[in-house]
Structure 1
Amino acid sequence: MSRPFKVLQLQPDYNVKSHDFADLAEQIVKALPADRYEVTAAFLRGRPAPGGPVSRAATSVYFEFSDASLKGLRLRAMWQLYKFCRREKFDVVVCNRFKPVNMMLQLNRWLKIPLCIGISHGFGEYDRLYRRKQAQRWVDEHWRFVGVSPAVKQYLLDCNCGFTDSNTYAITNAIDIEQAEALQHSRERARELLGIDPSVRLIGALGRLVPVKGHTYLLQAFAALKDKYPTAQLAIIGAGREASNLAAQIQSLGLDGRVQLLGFKENALQYVRAFDIWAMPSLAEGLGLALLEGMSGRLPVIASNVPAMLPLIKGAGGLAVEPANVPELTQALDTYLALPDEALAQKGEQAYQYLQAQHDIEVFRQEYLDLIDSGLAQARRNNV
């Protein structure tokens, strides 16, 4: 029997979680049968703490490069990565996000690994002219590219720098719904753990506290409705550099006691059923896994109509709003807050049914397996 194909999955940072329901890289490992594929997970930066979670790949490698060594020409890092790949003789390299893609685009001019897959998780990676020129120079028959939504695929095609209909695919992110649901506490228990009053109508948001997530607009919209719905509250799970600004805004809008910044929560999905309405007012998203996480908790969704999320919102029967448009966001919140409990629950069930039908993890895994199988078969035919 021939040896298994050797696959390297290269990521910029160690970020393995104890639960992998929404971990794209770990789901790709699960997609590859162990009798046919031997997977190595490699991380440019970071490593697990003692006893921390590790990849389910057969082997894990931690380069532990410094931030400085991954800037500029990156000669030392490039040389180490080149020696590693040359020694291991991989058949496939899967690169997550821009930096690993860019490094392997350069190195594979000499390594000639038969199949390289570059995954783009969002927009803007190739906005800079010199990056487009590099891609145009280095993309060759060894490469396939994946956008995590049809909108990200279209972004790559529109860059006009080597991404074509024949080498670029959309494989929409998915979550392991069964695993996600198993993590979730009941509504009562989740509220107890978060310190939330069990009787309130609760709007929830999950995401890093950074400007692009649009939390400032959510606070303004909620403030416009606080007197109309005195039993409504808003809670945001996440941490980030905007925390102090948002806290000050809560005070200035008179929202003390009505809005809670809950901070970072490990495995935040376990609390999703604490909420009645799921809000995602981002200014930009590649896909927005948090939107799918809200749907897994059977929550009705309100989200910005950015290209990557609009089809999801429509499919789920949710409410789409223009980014940073406070009046539209206010109207969407008003629409859901005005619904009786039963009608709101029905909207949440509609979102859950859409998630099951369109973002099944088995479909996601099969599409990556098919991409790798077909790419290797074509490489053999072309003798690359």
Structure 2
Amino acid sequence: MKKVLHLISGGDVGGAKTHVLTLVKELQKNLTVKIVCFMEGPFAQEARDMGIDIMVLPQQRRYDLKVIDTLVKLIKDEGFTLIHSHGARANFITRFIKNKLPIPCVTTIHSDFMLDFKGNLYKHIIYTNLNVFALKKFDYFIAVSESFKEMLIGRGFPADKIFTVYNGMDFDEDISYKSREKFLEERGLISLKDKKLIGILARLHPVKGHEIFIKAAADILAANKDIHFLITGESTEMPALDDLIKQLGIEDNVHFIGFGDAPYDILNAIDINVLTSYSESFPYALLEGARLEKPTISSAVGGIPMLIEDGENGYLFKAGDSNELSRKLSLMIEDEARSKAMGKALYKKADKNYSLKNLALNHINIYDIMLENKKERNTDENNR
């Protein structure tokens, strides 16, 4: 019988959090699955609210390895048959579990792990190398886009051990969100309720390319001062972005709105959904926007071109090219009817191809392959 233990830090936000929680909730319908995370917080509480079996094993610090013996005992006592890891911290811990137990392990590559700690030299040098050290111990890898699979192969990981599974979501599940007016009022922006609002839902990190969004905003505002741009997060998180906004003289039209755990509140409030990342997998911000039929423009990175067909159900631009972004933003602003048609077309494609049910079934198939391969290896060893 398959019993899967998912390991994740527990401090995750955005796409990784959505991916793991929705996946595990769906997997629970077909097999025994449990999450262990290493810090208390919104991730763990949301898992509990969703009825997910979750256990928190607090670490004093990232290198606290006392949790390993506890996890080994848990795996033995509860009869888990494989480990599914997510993220650098969980990967590091899984490597040491593998030294104690011959249990198949798979990790999902949610992002370009060489860029995860970009912007912090200490973390980049230490944590990136520790993650690479851990990844070399894994039996299998799940890439959330074909480009990520190619990335792994290019870095020396065996092609026959890598699966590609695109993210998915439940398009039939009821969702609720605040009205545009209520959301803007809570953020002190009620004066913008009748304005055209363009937003970016992404953590403030250099890989997300927010400066491209800001430069494109300046181009748009040179011709139309009645448009406003919303950025999730606080300006203090990346002061260089705030400096750029002031340097361009657009601080009256660009607003940091903080971030919560309700992306649909933000998506419902904006008119156009933008993503400017230099590297991506297959981001939930675009699937969530598609759920609300939002006109969308994104950099053509990772698996995004699998979802967005340029000029058909949205627009794509070359990563780092603010001029192309501003040009395509202008097209979307000027032709509202076509923009809305693109949003509807994006919803139809996402609903048809990237469902949560397919996501879970693909994972179950991978788990079956992992366990069958282990069985065959054990048989071969016994016959020697």
Give the TM-score of the pair, scaled to structure 1.
Answer: 0.82
Q: Which residue of structure 2 lines up, in the alignment, with residue 47 of structure 1?
A: 40
Look up the match of 1:26: 21
Q: Which amino acid is 1:350 matched to?
A: A
Unaligned ranges ≥5, structure 1:
none
The 5 Å alignment of 1:315-326 reads 317-326=313-322
Paired residues for 1:58-137 under 5 Å: 59-70=53-64, 74=65, 76-113=66-103, 115-125=104-114, 135-136=135-136
CA 323–16 in structure 1, closer or farther in 2 if over 3 Å, else same: closer
Aligned CA RMSD, in angstroms, stands at 3.1
Aligned length: 363
The answer to whether the 8 Å contact 1:202/1:235 transfers is yes
Which structure 2 segments of 5+ residues have no match? Answer: 117-127, 380-384
1:27, CA displacement in angstroms?
2.6
CA distance in 2, matches of 1:235, 1:104: 39
Deviation at 1:215, TM superposition (A): 1.4
Give the partner amino acid of 1:182.
I
User: For residue 168 of structure 1, what is the aligned residue in structure 2?
Assistant: 162
Q: 1:248: how far off?
A: 3.1
Per-residue CA distance 1:178-221 (angstroms, 9 max, x = gap) = 34x62234545544554342321111111112222211221111
The residue matched to 2:175 in structure 1 has which SS?
A: helix
CA contact (8 A) 1:21 1:177 kept: no
Q: Percent identity?
A: 22
- CA deviations on 1:104-127 (whole Å, 9 max, x unpaired) are 2443243112x3221111113599
Cα deviation code 1:93-140 (max 9, x no counterpart): 111123323432443243112x3221111113599788667655x45x
Counterparts of residues 1-384 of structure 1 (less than 5 Å): 5-15=2-12, 23-33=18-28, 37-43=31-37, 45-48=38-41, 52-55=45-48, 56=50, 59-70=53-64, 74=65, 76-113=66-103, 115-125=104-114, 135-136=135-136, 138-139=137-138, 143-161=139-157, 163-165=158-160, 167-179=161-173, 182-194=175-187, 195-196=189-190, 197-239=192-234, 242-314=237-309, 317-339=313-335, 341-383=336-378
Q: Letter of the aligned partner of 1:175 in structure 2? A: M
| Partners of 2:332 and 2:338 within 8 A in 1 | no
One-letter identity of the residue aligned with 1:368: H
Q: Deviations over 1:279-337 (max 9, x none)?
A: 11112222222122222221111111223323323276322222222211221222212
C-alpha displacement at 1:46, in angstroms?
A: 0.8
Distance between the aligned counterparts of 2:352 and 2:320, measured in 1?
30
Structure 1 match to 2:124 = none
Say if 1:232 and 1:258, in contact at 8 Å, map to a contact too.
yes
Q: Does the aligned pair in 2 maintain the 1:211–1:242 contact within 8 Å?
A: no
User: C-alpha separation between the residues in 1 aligned to 2:87 and 2:76?
Assistant: 22
Distance 1:28-1:376 versus aligned 2 partners, 3 A rule: farther
Deviations 1:8-27 (A, max 9, x none): 1111225599xx99722223
Using structure 2 for the length normalisation, give the TM-score. Answer: 0.82
